[in-house]
Chain A
């Protein structure tokens, strides 16, 4: 077993990081103070963690940890100071925050030493109470353990795959699973990035790219070209500004935007289809103004509600139509943006506009859906104003439109008479339940934790620039490269060509 020793602040770190194993092979510690657990990229040697049970209200949440530092997590969060628990045995422990030693929860912990674990690596499971506060606290505590970082999309599965732990049939589903995960994360990231926070990250990313381009230009061209020393001095200022800003941001937890948690359900459709009426029906109070005038709703109206125990964030959007009104056009743009970010879209259609024949009605609806949505995987069709249809047609549509290929679930309702609402609510409830039961689905705390991890690496990498600035510019530049890569994991990858483009735009390289 590895010997342990306390480090400042009560954090326990495994001996691999700090204690010499033998006289012959001392670990290199030059970088350990800043780059601990932050190698150049997301190598498999990292230890990852994630909430692997469903999000939303549930009795027990399972948090999984996988990788070489799993034992460290177990030691410093479940109080195993002497020896690790017997493998694959559930033990009831107090789970504590390694920074404050505050007890976060009492729950079950399980230790799965490699190779007999899901991922083939050392692995730990924490079974804790399912409330969001407890889950968030445990995830944040894990994030503070050296060597641990939040898992990327599909990472657990990928590791299991690489360790040969998945059978061929499971592997076939893997690509789709990763697709679903990246898709869920993409939507989550879009929500986070479309606001003030996104602009902040983008600004940092632009400034960092410029710093890198200028350092690279100085390295690759300054011997033959007119690239004056002043360039590097400007980079120095930029780098220390950026480092200070990022560190301030990391300290100031309140500055993060309010995280929109819950299933994002968006009501969309043409003007005057009754979208706001549906919102009001669902939240049982007049949250949105309803009028017979087309285009009444011009901005997104948001309401949080509890749907049979699951958190839902319901948004009503402006009716989609071409408009010359500037305000309305902006409303339509926002509506489309919101649909893009939605987990589930309720497409509302005025039944009175439907052709009377079923075939033509189906074709009409397919066409309509295409104009509203990029794909029909995550939507329900709501045919409103059913009370305006003759009884016979209503029944025909209700029975025959179900199961028509190319259409999602269809429900006929009337917000006026409440007809069909109950049946619709049942469908909506089961869709939301499915989404919440999916562990991939929008855990904003995880997104936030991932952002934090990348930002911390970014700041640490900038410190490397300053440490080597005067002695070895190649190693200093390595710091800026690392910072760009870390931030790029939030804002998007940055390629060598992009950096060269900035170089050639900013300098006359004549040789």
Chain B
């Protein structure tokens, strides 16, 4: 159910921010730096796990701001939102609260690749996230700018290894200590803004740039490799100045589907949803881009930008002579702005105006805020463990754009996982990992830490090998029990609900399998279904449910006594039935990968002196990437089967030695 606690918001805000001065000398379990999608999920997750948590952000009122597009989810990204929700994160429920236009993308392409998506009201989204955070037990929120990350001197026994001890704030050099720190600095790490020929330091227009101190600590003090990426955002258009009758109307789903497994409906009523509009670029747009190239320094630089979220400049330059799509999206129920999806640009403001006026519905459009580009530092994520902890610095976790990703959903997913692990680490519990065989979050993190990035990383369903098993509909079954039992980031209410769902689905599948009829009897029961009698003489209800034109509702009305109690799960059961044979086929491969992922490779191995037979080339790759598990090692390019077996052997032998050692010590202790 949607909890309405927004009215309390403003009464909560002021006392918190006033306490900054008192924090000095206070010991927190976890400090989260940054209040974007990664930071908010990280802080909330850390507090849920049980850590005393402090969230530091420049301005409390920009917590949960949607800096770019006013939407959540989509193909691949929607799966991430469902998974974050299954782990009791915020963004799914926030989306259900703030959504004003819900649709399931890919509806006709199969449930495994359905993409739940919503246009959001920016203000409502921010309100929800802020009220949620400010009412989270064990979580304190404070305004401030972090000047420095505090770390110990390198461990003399392990050169280059540090431990995090806290942070220092910019104003008045407050030091606040913590066992774990999660950095979610987004585009603010040495960020610079680009518009036309001017650049200025900053991570988002209207906000102060972050201090150079943090960047310095990461690079100079901790010796982390960093790189530079770029992104951009389109100008915001005044809605009244656009002739929407010249664009194609795009309606939402008539029955909005909530993101969250806990919600049965969305806050927005179906009939109150707002439409989007579709229009296209013209040859005039391309002309303006070409004429203004010399005035556009963001585009002239060769910092890596994403191939899939390019500016209008790179779109027309890479694919000239085409008409490109532009979506005009609402920014909120009361907002008088439109967001032109696909028109991210960095030229001078006057030329931006010329450009948009080349598009028919915007012939007389006015720009409210011009578009701009951002360049920022990221930390090469191969330096992180699968718990998103910096390998060389105990207690330091990174999440979001700082790891080279793009997108709210990617940031939220990492934030949740980094926050949960930061809390576990601070509370002296072992960190936990998610496998790429069980979740998109696992795919995301594994891709980041074992392969690194060369351009901003975005999730696609094509990145998941086991796409037919990792579906949006079953994210709760995949993750909620684990989130409660192994991670501790899921409330018991949600856990109980997931168990109820799991058991009901199990019972329903059993009931379906127990319906065991001859084809002729099935024909009598379901006369409209073409059942071939040559196939087999006996079929179960589950077999029937795999037929294209058979729904669970049809079976339930034919066998009300055994099936009608499961009507709530009609759609999920249909999907389970269709996908079950495929998932069963995947199972063996999944088990093999999980076996390999369970064999961890010690992080301090000196691969160059390891007394096993490995080629120099393999040693170099292993030394550079330092895979955390044997599974991650097998996925590296250039690693031979022989190398894997030798590593496997090494792991087994060392484990055996450790075990013997442990046993001996235990025996000694008993004596």
Contact = CB atoms under 8 A, between A and B. Distances in A.
Interface of A: 20, 23-26, 28-31, 35, 39-41, 43-45, 153-154, 158, 161, 168, 171-172, 174-176, 178-179, 182, 216, 218-226, 468, 471-478, 495-496, 499-500, 503-504, 508-511
Interface stretch (B50-58, B317-325, B554-562, B621-629): B317-325
A508 B319 contact: yes
B112 A511 contact: no
Contacts of A226: 322-325
B527 to A, nearest CB: 22
B585 A175 contact: no
B327 interface: yes
Contact of A478 (B106, B467, B543): B467
B467 A500 contact: no
B461 A219 contact: yes
Contacts of B584: 28
A224 B589 contact: no
B610 interface: no
A221 B109 CA distance: 12
A222 B309 CA distance: 14
Contacts, number: 163
B463 A496 contact: yes
Contacts of A29: 536, 543
Given A472-B112, A495-B637, 5 more contacts: A154-B641, A175-B646, A216-B460, A510-B342, A511-B308
A135 to B, nearest CB: 26
A28 B580 contact: yes
B657 to A, nearest CB: 12
A175 B642 CA distance: 5
Contact of A508 (B324, B468, B653): B324
A472 B110 CA distance: 4
B12 interface: no
B578 interface: yes
Nearest to B107: A223
B581 A223 contact: no
B576 to A, nearest CB: 12
Contacts of A35: 585
A139 to B, nearest CB: 23
Given A23-B516, A508-B315, A511-B309, A496 B462 contact: yes
Nearest to B516: A23
B189 interface: no
Contact of B105 (A223, A477, A504): A223
B468 A172 contact: no
Nearest to A31: B581
A24 B462 contact: no
Nearest to A168: B653
Contacts of A31: 581-582, 585
A28 B112 CA distance: 19
A510 B540 contact: no
A175 B325 contact: no
Nearest to A220: B460
A468 B111 CA distance: 13
B581 A473 contact: no
A499 B462 contact: yes
Given A474-B112, A478-B582, A224 B327 contact: yes
B514 A509 contact: no
B203 to A, nearest CB: 22
A412 B363 CA distance: 90
B649 interface: yes
A220 B649 contact: no
B468 A478 contact: yes
B109 A219 contact: yes
A41 B588 CA distance: 9
Interface in B570-600: 578-582, 584-586, 588-589, 592
16 contacts: A28-B580, A29-B543, A31-B581, A41-B589, A158-B645, A178-B645, A182-B641, A224-B327, A226-B322, A478-B467, A496-B465, A503-B462, A508-B324, A509-B310, A510-B312, A511-B341
B645 A44 contact: no
A30 B546 contact: yes
B141 interface: no
Contacts of A154: 641, 645
Interface in B624-662: 637, 640-643, 645-646, 649, 653
Contacts of A495: 637
A154 B648 CA distance: 14
A168 B653 CA distance: 9
A168 to B, nearest CB: 7
A477 B588 CA distance: 20
A26 B308 contact: no
Nearest to B579: A475
A182 B76 contact: no
B513 interface: yes
B191 to A, nearest CB: 23
B461 A510 contact: no
Interface in B79-128: 105-106, 108-113, 115
Contact of B113 (A20, A30, A219, A224): A219
Contacts of B592: 41, 43-44
